[in-house]
Amino acid sequence: MSQEASMFSASDVIVSYSPLTGHDLPVQELPLPADFAWGTATAAYQIEGAASQDGKGKSIWDTYSHLEPSRTNGENADISCDHYNHMPEDVELMASLGVDVYRFSISWSRIIPLGGRNDPINEKGIAFYNDLIDRLLARSIEPVVTLYHWDAPQAIYDRYGAFLDTAEFRADFERYARLCFSRFGDRVKKWVTFNEPYIISIFAHLNGTLAPGHCREAGTDTKTEPWRVGHTIILSHAAVVQMYVDEFQPSQTGEISIVLNGHFYEPYDAASAVDVDAAERRMVFYIGWFADPVFLGTDYPAEMRAYLGARLPEFMPDERALLRRTAPFNAFYGMNHYSTKYARALADPPAEDDWTGNVEETSVNSEGKEIGPASAMGWLRVAPSGFRKLLNWVWNRYHVPVIITENGCPCVGEDDVATAVDDKFRQRYLGLYLDAISRAIYEDGVVVRGYYVWSLMDNYEWSAGYGPRYGIVHVDFKTLKRTPKNSAYYLRDTFKSRRRAAS
């Protein structure tokens, strides 16, 4: 799940509901294709707990969440949902909800505690994921596996800065991926290399609000390091795609791709040409940064080259060839999406390490209208029309089938289980966003193959700790009791009816 706290602005406040999203817009329960897959999504560090159990090594999040003074609300995920020890129960819970797919991530440091290509393998970690995969398949739930969801082994960060050294990271990541393909690929048919490289690059290596916490205050080079991180991710992704296609896909017959997050951006002033341009530029800087090289096999977008100049790394001839060669093998566009924002062109000169294209993001436009009703997180607004527009933007630019790999929201007052269970706000949000998918498919011709809600259960929400709850299952973090919310049953039932209507 993407953390956006550091991007709030003074105008990101609740004023009045905007007709743009239709506060009273009803959920229409529009049809979806008969083979449309619905699932749940989680990340290893957020739910597994068992921080040092059975030989697991430290990740950058194990370190970051224990810093003093705390940068994670005084909380850590040493236990969290303790999924590592409650996994059989959690699989049975998903089965009871009629889930088709479970998207989860592997903890790199659980299976290679020190992370490196010459470091020992932890067979107990391998056994845990084998057991999880086997239990899912026994319940007819498809495992979709993410290799990297923000939790690099601390040891490789200590050795060479992880993503900051492209050659070293790429070699270690290839070894890790090969191990996963070798041990799990006979049963896993859908792989994701990286989750949300934008967040890894900007929030972890410029704003410093996520592990490992690079930021200008720490004396790091925030003008160039985030772009180096992104460069490392793109090339490591392409190298692993090439490896999978050459060595594993012929016998395992699976698919592989990447997951990118992104808002949709509306112009702050729809009558202003500079704001219209700013909205499109923000889309390119957010999504095109990674999607153009990965899915088109091209250089970074021209707008980024012109704006960033020497701050943006160059692809060498062999790297350009790798991107061109692997682009067609990215089988789907993994889309993490939560909300829409307004984009406003800034008149003042940008900061030296600006990453936005000199664009301000806000939830309120020039007329004082909100982009949509607020959830428990100020930046996350209900704006299904923006979701539909984003689906069209991605489809028209890349022409790759889309899977919604994360979507969801937190509600106000979910600490109390009685209040949390009756999550009408979340049910409406989910219903409207599913309607937007239906419209994109049937009215716009976008190919969308599935929808994975974020998240299966309440968990450790990164630097926000245990405050916001995104789960469709409530977790009491003292007793670890799981209680399905009404949204869990809503999703179970709505997919039955929507897919039946479409068949």
* pLDDT of 1: 53
Residue 168: count other Cβ atoms within 10 Å of its Cβ.
Answer: 18
pLDDT tens, position by position, 442-495: 999 999 999 999 999 999 999 999 999 999 999 999 999 999 999 999 999 999
Render 23-58 in DSSP notation, one character per residue.
TTPPP------TT-EEEEE--HHHH---TTGGGPPP
* pLDDT of 12: 29
| Alpha-helix runs per DSSP H in 270-316 | 273-283, 289-291, 302-308
* Catalytic (active-site) positions: 196, 406
Ranges of residues in the chain with a pLDDT under 50 are 2-22
* pLDDT of 152: 98
* pLDDT of 404: 99
Q: Which two tokens stand for residue 79?
A: 């236990």
- Is residue 111 within 8 A of residue 132, CB to CB? The reply is no
* pLDDT of 23: 66
Q: Using a cut of 0.75, tell me whether the model's pTM lies above it.
A: yes
Please enumerate in sequence order all residues whose Cβ is within 8 A of that of 111, keeping only pairs 6 or more positions apart, or say none.
121, 122, 125, 126, 129, 176, 179, 180
- Is residue 386 within 8 A of residue 283, CB to CB? The reply is no
DSSP structure class, residue 358: S
Upstream peptide bond of 455 is cis (omega within 30 degrees of 0): yes
* pLDDT of 3: 44
Please enumerate in sequence order all residues whose Cβ is within 8 A of that of 57, keeping only pairs 6 or more positions apart, or say none.
109, 110, 112, 113, 114, 115, 122, 153, 154, 155
Please enumerate in sequence order all residues whose Cβ is within 8 A of that of 424, keeping only pairs 6 or more positions apart, or say none.
486
C-alpha distance from residue 291 to each of 82, 283, 317 (Å): 34, 11, 19
Q: Which two tokens stand for residue 395?
A: 């489809």
pLDDT tens, position by position, 115-159: 999 999 999 999 999 999 999 999 999 999 999 999 999 999 999
C-alpha distance from residue 488 to each of 84, 427, 475, 503 (Å): 22, 9, 13, 23
- Is residue 90 within 8 A of residue 457, CB to CB? The reply is yes
